[in-house]
Structure 1
């Protein structure tokens, strides 16, 4: 909508549109932040386990599903692990199993 079109709207409609745009902005910022931490976790997996990015993505996805932890939360834990914080036991086991599955699928 152009500025002229907003002038013809009731103040409540303008306020509602502003609120909607602010929510969209918040969601976009959250998506950008999530993307950054997921990329960092992929880098950790690539370095620590010699995984290609697509395999790292599958490891993250599988581990997230098997532990019922959101992908972003899992990625944050992996990045913290790279900085010296331990992974919870269940997460560590599922991550190791997912990495092993990816390694076993590599062509000889």
Structure 2
């Protein structure tokens, strides 16, 4: 009986450590999922800009990045709006103006 009470604190610490590790891994998995989703949206937006601007994917990437910086809107959000633009033909004025300027400067 004397062995059991002494082993409980160590076992509790070990279990707590494992729970903490599991929580950290769950956070990392969620972050990786977010990164994969962001990357997919950005790739789709590159495709829209390639089609609309008749340019290479590398140049389309630059246009998206520069549009993001020029409007001070996160790249992922710009990409989402550009993908929507490809479907609906509608684009927020700020993004449309900056993107049009970038697309016209490449011609």
TM-score by length of 1: 0.83
> Runs of at least 4 residues of structure 1 off by over 3 A?
none
Gaps of 5+ in 1: 1-6, 104-108
Matched, 1:39 2:43: yes
- The number of residues matched between the two structures is 97
Deviations 1:32-86 (A, max 9, x none): 1111111110110111110101100100100001111111111110010111151
Write the distance in 1 (CA, Å) between the matches of 2:97 and 2:23. 43
Per the normalisation by structure 2, the TM-score is: 0.84
Structure ID, larger Rg? 2
Farther off after superposition, 16-25 or 82-91: 82-91
RMSD value, Cα? 1.6
1:99 Cα deviation from its structure 2 partner:
1.4
